Each structure stands twice: as structure tokens, then as C-alpha cells.
Chains A and B, each alone.
Chain A
């Protein structure tokens, strides 16, 4: 009882800490979400636009998708006044003068934010409250960014190609995109009347009535010299009139008239080249998909499944087992729907950019979990794979939900180099293996928790030391990561001298402690559990051994939790070992086709090989060491870290040929 009380308390504290952190992120995510929208914004009906297509970058998007992309260039993950993207797009385009001094341009880099605010000190419109708001949201107004002091600073920062040039470029892009002329000229709503797919689409501003549009206030800003060849005069006239009506009504904040103009336009546009126009159903689904944040909110359902699944596995609560599996299946079904919808919208399997790679990888993890759960449904392994998948999918979807700038959910065409069947197979197999590596982490962590609990019980290591161990592990990882980043990309992520020494000292101390603990006999032998605290035979053998035999005479003893965790880890490690190797080989076949060489020592290739080497080490170390379960768990976690390094650091920091995934 004493043991349970302690362990439960610590478990509750850890879970509460994680939950608190998630809550903190959720609360602080959108500082502007509580801002009330205007009466006009609430009254105007933009729903007909959900069925309108815009041509951009070689594909047809829904209006919502287009405005999300463009407003993303301007405001990043923020929303102007909490307005919808479509509303903001039209409002910035039609009433640009109002947006000159509204903070809407997102500056992601916090140091650049601070530098800009310092340069803008003394601006009459910049009071303390606004400075605080800008510091928090990262949103500046066009007027502030166009101040001479801002321009001078941006010019200087733009010269630093390593640290700040990219940030300056994104600010300049935002300034360009937020120009109403840019927004209107890139709103290509009119299909080529010829009906030919390779012909450009047209913006409404290109419309010209025969003899020239009347240059009154309603037609102001429209080019009078352009014309759309092949478009019936009457249609041009109707389009021009409804666009003018929309502009006029919008500027006078007349919701009824604006809604009517939107309705007319939405009815007219699909009739110009019906064969080219995508179905209204597809466009509506696309709009819905983006309005629901690409369904990345499914992470919440996964979170709900993780809690009962954990209780089911650790505390063996039968009720939690059923509830957890039901929630997991629901979450997986929703994620499957999201993947299927994205596939339907984009017309291709979603695996062509970082967002798709992360979310599809998580889905593959779910597929693997469902299959393995089916195989192991009557064994002690049940629920572990589902838990692993739920955790991985939850993290992946949280990343998509909370980091929309880094993981842009926008749909784009594939780069030419990605149009290859071998590449398709290669990338899918690789990301599947990554997901399985992630899944393996969960039972490995559970194994280590079990070992920790055993040590806690047996008092072979002082409890204070045990309590400090996870903290030391965390410090070693964080400090190691910071040092790694310092040495890999010193010019961009370099630590100041004192921080560097402090981090180095923390890393040295924590890794020494950790090393000593790992090497100490007590830790290695698992407090006298020599040779038993692991699956008797790893991987598929373990799962088979745990499967009920038709011969009741040879039923094995019920395995311990540690044996189950170790066996599950091995099942997943072996699976990832085969998939990773196969994926790398398929990548080599594709690279041979695309780049003329199967292997080019590109960083991505090398770290994929490195991940494989880690698992190769795991399999052979397992043969030789006595405390097989413990070392399997430790090396599986190292393998996961190397895989994550490959996916995040190599992709974002170390440039290579695999920039898209």
C-alpha cells in the first residue's frame, strides 16, 4: 500500500505537470481570440464563397484555403481581430486604409520584435499597452514597419544572411501581400473561357467592359486596358458589376448588399468554364477542412484516450481498458477521415511536405497499432500499441495545432522531383518506420518506469537519488540538445559564453551521474532481477509466446509487466528495423533515378543510416548483456532521439536535398 501511494502520487504529479503545461499552451495560444468582431463581420454572409475556386500556384483552391494561405503570409498563426481569413482578406483588400495602423503583420523572431520595438521608441502611437501587446502577439502594423527607423533596422538585419535575413524577407513578403493591389491581382477567380487547363486564370480586376469600364468611384482601381479574351461581354459586365457592388457595399459596411454581391459572384463564376471548375462539393469540403484547423484538434480525443489506456496498462483497470480502446478507435477514425479528406481535396496522397509527413506518419503509427492490437488482442500485450499510437498521434497533431507556422497545413503541388512511384513508396515506408520507432518509445518508457518503481520498492538505491534520476535525465537531454545546436549551427543558435559554459557544466554533471547510474551494478541488474525482467524471447517470438495455444498443457505463466513492455518494445523495434532498411533502400533506388546516384552522403541519408545503426546496435547488445530489457529500453529511446534529430534538426537546420520532409 505504501508503495502504491508513493507511486500514484508521483504518477499524478507527472500527469498533472504535463496536463498543466498543455493547458498553459492552450490558454496562451491566441492572445487575440477574445477580441469581438464587428457587427458587419457577423452580419455579412460569406458562405457562398466556400464554393468558389481560386487558381494559385498551379492548383485550384477554395476561397477559404486561398485566403488562409495569404493571411498566413501576413499574420502568421494569428487572426486579425479574431476575424475569419476570408473576411480579413476582403476587408484588407477593400478597406486597406483602415489597416495601415492595425497590428496585423506577424514577426515570428522574438529578438527582431524587440529590436523593432526599440527602434520605434518614441512613436506617438506606441504606448506601453500596445508595446506589451505587440511583444506578446508579434503583430506590427504596416505603418510601424514602414517607419524610417524600422526600414533602417530591417535593411541592416537583412544583410545578416544567417540569422535574420529570412525573418526580414518574411516581413517584406507580408508587407507586399498586405497591399490591396497584390491581394486583388492574385485573386484569380475567373477560369479561362477557352476551357484549356494550361491557360492562366484571371483576376476580376482584369475585367474590362467593351469601350472601357466607366471610371467612376465603383470601378476605381480596376485596370481599364485589360480584357479577358473569349469571355462574353455580358458575363464580363455582370462580373464587373457584382464586383463593384461588393466593393461599394463592403466599403459602406452594408452587409445585406455585400452578401447579395457575394451570392451573385459565387453563382456566376462556375459557369464560365464549367469543365474546368472543381465541384462545389470539393470546394466546400476544402473550406470546411481549413475552417476546422485541418482537424488537428483530434489531438484532444487522443489525449482523452491516453489517460484510460495508461490506467488500463499500469493499473490493469478493466473499465479503463474498454473506454481507452473506444476513445482510441474514435480518434483514429477521425484522423483517418482527416487524411482521407486531405487526399480528396489535394488529389494526391498527403505526403509531400512537412505537415503531411508528420500527420501521415502518425496515422501510419495508428494503422500499425490497430494491426498489432488485433494480433495481440488476447495477450498481455493488448492496449500497449494503442497507447503508443495515441501518444505519438497526440504529439504530432498537437504540433500541427500549436505550430501552424512551422507545420504549414496549406496544400500545394508536389515538386517535380517528388513525382515518382519509388519516392512515394520510399517516403511512406520511411515515415511509417519513424512512427513505429515513436511507438516503441512508449513501452520502453513504461519499462523504465517499472524498473524505477522496483528500485523504489526495494530501497537498493536511496529514494532521493531515484527521484533526481529523471530530472538528471531531462537536464542531460536538454543541455545536450543545446550544446549540439550550438556546435552544429553556431552562427544561428550559438549560446552566449556564460550560458555555453553553464550548459556544458550541466551536461557534464548530468551525463556523468547518468553514466554512473547506468554502469552501476544495481541499476544494471535491476535490483537483483537478473535475467528475468525482460521478455524471454524478444519481438515476434514474445508476442507468439504470449498468444494462447490450443494446447492448454503448455500455457506459459502470465508474464510480468516488464516482460510485456520489453516484448512490445522489441516487436516494434524489429518492425522499424525492417521498415527503415527497406525504406532507405527504396530511397536509394529513387535517388538513383532522380539524382543519378543511389547514395550521396546527404545529411538526411546519413542520419537515416545512423538511426538504423542504433537499432542494429540494440539488437546485438541485447544478445550480449544480461539486463536485456533495460538496455533495450535505453537504446530504443536513443534511437527515437536520433530519428527526431533526423526529422527536425536535419530538416530545419542542416540543409540537404530532403527539404520537403
Chain B
């Protein structure tokens, strides 16, 4: 290769002067090529090694966009031109130079192939769900469909009747025990059916074994054993169908999908020029953020024009006016509400840990207590009620015997709780004695959204004894007569009024008690329970040495405010990409302008059946158009129709020794069996695996993601497969170019030296024969050989 540097190629022309000649001269320069290669090196390094640069607010580019930006294109075109001109003008077209020619031609071919490839590239992914259940009943107007994903529900209203269906569970390797199929395994779906009348039951469907469909009655077992037939309601027909996927979503794209409420089909409009990496907000009021990571104000206003027929927002202006890369909706409280809604904000700090912040709302059971059980906020009608707060954080049993005017409080500790075999404690000046057997706090009441705390007490009277369940809600306190422990043997009665008991469940160590005009802090101090500590916003109290509780805000009439919380950089999951992105969408104009934050959806799914325990998102946001129409909108990616819809026939794991345990390393491969629709017919099943893709039509399908079974339930999961979808025009041109270049390199580096050496040897031989005549010294010979080389 060195020999070409100072030679002129066979097609070389003398520079004719003028701009063209100057340009030809420039593009014939190896130094130009080297300079371009250096620029290319730095361009690639910055784009890939320092993504912060391409992610700057003024650029906002993905890797793909960075490497298709006009400077890169200009660079590549210049580099290719340089290579073409240099090859033609400076490398003699001789066999000895075939290597260099092939390298250059190969690289030029790769470049052209890549240009074709990337300019036509479409790439995305699509989840393909395994099945849906087709539900038919004579009373239904039309068949109903329910996707087979555990948790998916469907309610069917048929006249006055309401049916409820729910996918209870699936099993990807259900063993068949009956008949000739014993030993085989099938995909099983259990559907919970709640008919308008009668008991709910579960219907089990086995994929490919319709004859084994049967109902199971909860608590009773298989229907056939209870009612003599396999199906509770033989008119109800549930069958497994395939769930064709007709779209795939395009990688690194943005789109808005809208439809009138009640419609089933989404209408897409693409969002162009959207930021991707940097937050864009118009005012800080639009969000919550960490005080140490403030979000810069940098507004955007991107119109999102309608692009398709049937768009319910076609005549309504739609703009994206905000973007958040990583945020989630959060509810906080602030003052200024009309109704009573006491909320307190508290900070707990210790010398050795960071302060913990709490916001507690007294009238909202789920927000009244801190998650760690450290404190709770109660609302009292008057200040005097503070005295009635628990004087101990331990549970307290209050006993009153009205006839004797005796009233005692028993703190339930290891000493006072006697258990079933302990001694009875007499109540002084009365004829009663008691034995506390135990207590249970915060028991859920079935069917009701509340809890109850109970102390179990045995009471001995002069005439006998009975048990009492003393609830913290006195209305639920019951006396139990009878010996058995079984519920059926129990005889429960209203409590005996001769002895009255109330139970105060264990309280949190810290209680904040609000009342009209004030706030109290009740806590366990170093010298016992403190109940007379009034506090006000801004005040901090030292509970124990080094541990402080500070009230940072107190609003008796608080109102909830829900806004996106921008997660600080340090708390963001690496690789989350756009999963937690949000946009602020403005719909309408003037008086009718509505503005809401929309969360990102990886897929524009048709309804909430597809949520699958939160694995997929379905949170449409509703807007009302000027003509009163209610429209729902979701923020997602662009989608492309699949020319040939695809169904998932089967999805299986190929495992290593010991089977699948939940660890990725136990999986050898994932196998999706697919069928495509061709001219209205489904093709024969074809398997794809990791590293074994397939092409159908213009697209290439490859195994991308999967529905991972839980390690605790290896038979679950596998309800859908995730297919990568893309085209690959120009791949073979690229490959051809690569191969030509490889051959060229081998020729240039390893064949050419041999050829040259052979020629030099021939030359030497020739010289040797005539050396006496033509050369005087060996030095001349060496000089000649060097010239040939």
C-alpha cells in the first residue's frame, strides 16, 4: 500500500486548474481522508461516549438521530467522495493493487448500502398475546372477548342481568391426567364467572383440549362431583381464541392516540420534534420537584395536527406544552380548601440519619398513619379530648362495672395478658373477674373496607363464665357463650351490660392530635408518656435525646393537589428510558382550553383488560371538546400496521439442567411459535428463538421480550411474547461490501508482498545474469531491489 502514495493512477488526470481542478486536487488528497477519519472518530466518540452532548436541550437526539444528523451525513458523503476520487486518480488499476481497490470499493459499498439501509429502516416491537376468551350466552347481544391475562375482567350487562368474568390464573404446563392424553401438558386458563344469580364458579379451559373444559365450584370442588355435570351453566360457552396482533410500535417515536369515549379504535397523530431528555415546563407550579434538583423553566409549544380520518379532536387545537423525562403523579396537600380536612406535615430527624418527611391527613384512613407505623394524626372535636388519647402506646382494655361504679384501665402487656391458661384477675369491689387471652389489631372485615381491633377476654361471673370479643368499635363487641372454638358452635350475643368493656388498640408511638384552634403532640418521652405538648407550625420538639419531631405545616382545611413529581437524577432507574415520561397536553382554546399531564404508554392498548398487574399501562386522560363530546387520549409511540397479522400459537422456555428457577441463567432459549395471516389463511406454525428470527412479508421478526413466570410460580407467566419487528433493506449490499473489503485486506497485506517479492526475485535473477555487464557493486543491486519493492 505504501507504494501507491506517490504514484498517479491510470485514470489520473492532471489538475486542470480552476475550482473543479482545485476540488479534484482536494479530494485526491490522502490527508483529506485522514482528516475526515479523525473528525469521524471524534464525532463517533462524542455521540456514543458522551451522550450528554447529543442530549443537550438544543439537540435532543437519540443515538440513531445523532448518527443521521446532517453533519454526519456530510462527513460520510465527503469521506466516500474522497475515497472514490483517491481510488480513481491515485491508485493504478493493476492487479498488484487489487487489494487496495477492493478495500476502498468494499467500504464505499458498505457506505452506500448503509445509506439505503438506514434511510428505509423501520424498527419497533409488538406484544403478541397468547389467547383471548370468547364468551357467548343466549342472553348476550353479541359475543364478548376477554384477553387471557391474569386479572383481566369483563362485565356484561344483558338486560337486567350483570355477568362478571375474570381471568383468575393461567398455567403454562397443566398436566392432563385423563384418558389417552394422560401425561400430556396443556396451557390452562381459569376464568372466574360471577353469574347474575347463583354462586360464582371457575371454568377451566385447556388449550387444544376442549373436551376437558369443566367448572370448579369454590369450596366444593369439581362441578361434576357436586351437580353431576361438568358445567354449571351449559348455555354459557367459553372458548379459547387466538389474539391476533395487527400493529407494532415504532422505536424512539412519539404519538398521541384519541377516541371518543365508548369507541374501541384509537386514532393516531404523530408528535414531531418532541424533546426526549430534558424537562420542559412553563412554570414551576405545574410540577412538584426536589428542592435540591430544581427544574429549569423552558417552555415548549408543539402543535400536534390531526393526520387521520375519524379523529375526534380534528377540529380542536392540540398542543404539547410540557415534557418531563422521569416523573410520576403525586398527591400533596395545601391550604385553602373549603371543607374540614386537617393535614399536618412533619419532619422527624435524628443525629445519625437524614430527616424523614411525612404528610398525614387525619380524615383519610389510608393517609392518617405513616407507612413505618411511627406516627399518626388524629382529629379531635375539641381540645379537651386530648386527655382521652391513649396514655400508653400499648393496647388498653377499659373495664367498667356500672353497678359498683368501678372503672379500671388495663394496659395489655406480657404480664397482664394471661393467655388461655392464666389466672383470672378479680375486679375489686365487684363479683367479676377477668382473664385477657390476647388481642388482634387491624383485622380486615370481609366485604368492608375497614378494619377492627379486638381484645379477647374471658369474664367470670358468680353464675359462670363467658368470653367476650371487645372491639375498638363498641358496636362490634360480642359475648360468646359455648365451649367450642369452631364458629359454628359459637353462640354470640350482645354484651352483658353488667360489665362494660372498651378496647383501645395499640397506638403509634407518636400521635399528632389536631382540634379546632390547635395541635398537640403525644409521645413516649424518656420519662413516660407526654400528652400535654402543644405544638405549632415551625416548632420542633425533642422526643428523646437526639430525636426531633418538627411540624413543618398544618392546614385544617387542606385540599389535595395532584401534579407530576420530577424524580431527581440520582433516584432514576438506569435504563428506564421513556417509561416514566409525561407530556402536558393542551386541548382547545380560549375559554375551553384544558390542560392535563399524560403519562407515557409503551403501547396503545385497547382497554384496561391488558394492564396485567401493572405490567402494561392503560390510563387514558379525558378531555371535553367544545361540542361537549368526551374524548380520551393516551400518549404513546407511533404504530405501524403489520401487513400480515400474527398470532402466538405457543410460547415455551428451553431450560438448562434443573428447569427454570426464576434466574435468567437457567434459561437456554425462548421459543415463540407464530402463525401469520396470508390471504385470509393462517400459515403453518413457525418457531422463532433468540438468534433464530424469521422473515415474513417485508418484516423480520425476532424474539425480544417475554412474560417471565414468577420464581414462586414457574407454571404462571408465558401469556405473551414480545416480538421485535423491523425491515432490513440493504443488508446484503452491506454484507457484500464487507466481504469485498476483507478479501481486499488479505490481498493487500498478505498476497501483495508475496507477489512483490516474487517479482523482485525475478528482477534479481535477471539482474544477476547481467550483473557483470550492468552493475559494478552489490550496493547497486540492493538499490535496484529497493526500487522494485
Contacts and interface: CB of A to CB of B under 8 A. Distances in A.
Nearest to B45: A610
What size tier do the contact residues of chain B reach? 35 or more
Contacts of B30: 620, 623-624
Contacts of B691: 416-417, 419-420, 423, 590, 593-594
Interface string A48-73: 00000001011110000000000000
A162 B293 CA distance: 15
Interface in B17-31: 30-31
B402 interface: no
Contacts of A621: 34
Nearest to B725: A596
Interface stretch (B47-55, B482-490, B617-625): B47-55
6 contacts: A416-B669, A491-B570, A537-B789, A541-B753, A593-B691, A602-B63
A554 B658 contact: no
Majority-rule SS of A interface residues: helix
For the complex of A and B, the 8 pairs showing the least CB-CB separation, nearest first, are A58-B656, A58-B666, A152-B353, A606-B48, A623-B5, A420-B691, A541-B753, A585-B738
Interface in A243-265: none
Interface stretch (B434-442, B558-566, B742-750): B742-750
A544 interface: yes
Contacts of A163: 570
Nearest to A192: B658
Interface stretch (A128-136, A398-406, A575-583): A575-583
A613 B41 contact: yes
A600 B63 CA distance: 8
Nearest to B749: A574
Contacts of A417: 690-691
Contact of B353 (A149, A556, A588): A149
B44 A613 contact: yes
A161 B764 contact: no
B380 interface: no
Interface in B732-789: 734-735, 738-739, 741-742, 745-746, 749-750, 753-754, 756-757, 761, 764-765, 768, 778, 781-782, 785-786, 789
Contact of A593 (B655, B702, B742): B702
B657 A59 contact: yes
B95 interface: no
A588 B734 contact: yes
A58 B658 CA distance: 6
Interface of A: 55, 57-60, 119, 149, 152-153, 155-156, 159-163, 188, 197-201, 276, 412-413, 415-417, 419-420, 423, 484, 487-488, 490-491, 536-541, 544-545, 549, 551, 553-554, 556-557, 574-575, 577-578, 581-582, 585, 588-590, 592-603, 606-607, 609-610, 613-614, 616-617, 619-624, 645, 649-650, 654-655
Interface centre among B665, B700, B728 (most CB of A within 10 A): B665
A537 B40 CA distance: 28
A578 B749 contact: yes
Contacts of A199: 658-659
Contact of B690 (A578, A594, A617): A594
B569 A544 contact: no
B658 A419 contact: no
Nearest to A656: B48
A419 B656 CA distance: 12
Contacts of B739: 585
A414 to B, nearest CB: 8
Interface stretch (B223-231, B514-522, B533-541, B571-579): B571-579
B55 to A, nearest CB: 13
Given A161-B570, A606-B48, A416 B667 contact: yes
A416 B668 contact: yes
A447 B610 CA distance: 66
B753 A539 contact: yes
Given A59-B656, A537-B753, A596-B693, A554 B764 contact: yes
B495 interface: no
B48 A581 contact: no
Contacts, number: 238
A617 B572 contact: no
B572 A161 contact: yes
B754 A544 contact: yes
B693 A415 contact: no
Nearest to B664: A415
A607 B658 contact: no
B786 to A, nearest CB: 7
B571 A160 contact: yes
A420 B34 CA distance: 37
B749 A539 contact: yes
Contact of A198 (B354, B655, B665): B655
Given A162-B569, A596-B726, A582 B44 contact: no
A489 to B, nearest CB: 10
B1 interface: yes
A613 B741 CA distance: 14
B126 to A, nearest CB: 12
A595 B724 contact: yes
Nearest to B741: A581
Interface centre among B67, B353, B354, B572 (most CB of A within 10 A): B353
Contact of A58 (B5, B114, B663, B768): B663
Interface in B50-79: 50-52, 63-64, 66-67
B692 interface: yes
B728 A592 contact: yes
A413 B656 contact: yes
Nearest to B760: A554
A55 B658 contact: yes
A596 B728 contact: yes
B180 to A, nearest CB: 22
A572 to B, nearest CB: 11
B33 interface: yes
A516 B574 CA distance: 42
Given A161-B571, A199-B659, A488-B49, A554 B781 contact: yes
Given A419-B669, A544-B753, A598-B734, A620 B789 contact: no
A255 B2 CA distance: 74
B499 interface: no
B575 A655 contact: yes
Contact of B742 (A160, A582, A598): A582
Given A197-B658, A419-B668, 4 more contacts: A60-B657, A484-B49, A545-B757, A575-B749
Nearest to B118: A599
A578 B742 contact: yes
Nearest to B768: A553
A601 B573 contact: no
Given A554-B764, A655-B574, A487 B665 contact: no
Nearest to B572: A161
Given A537-B753, A596-B693, A601 B2 contact: no
Contacts of A582: 742
A578 B37 contact: no
B123 interface: yes
A599 B723 CA distance: 18
B789 A159 contact: no
B388 interface: no
A149 B47 CA distance: 43
Contacts of B757: 541, 544-545
A58 B31 contact: no
B237 interface: no
Interface string B686-730: 000111110000001110000000000000000000001110100
A164 to B, nearest CB: 9
A428 B603 CA distance: 38
A201 B658 contact: yes
A157 B460 CA distance: 56
Given A156-B354, A539-B749, A198 B742 contact: no
A318 B150 CA distance: 77
B503 interface: no
B724 A540 contact: no
Interface string B664-693: 111111100000000000000000011111
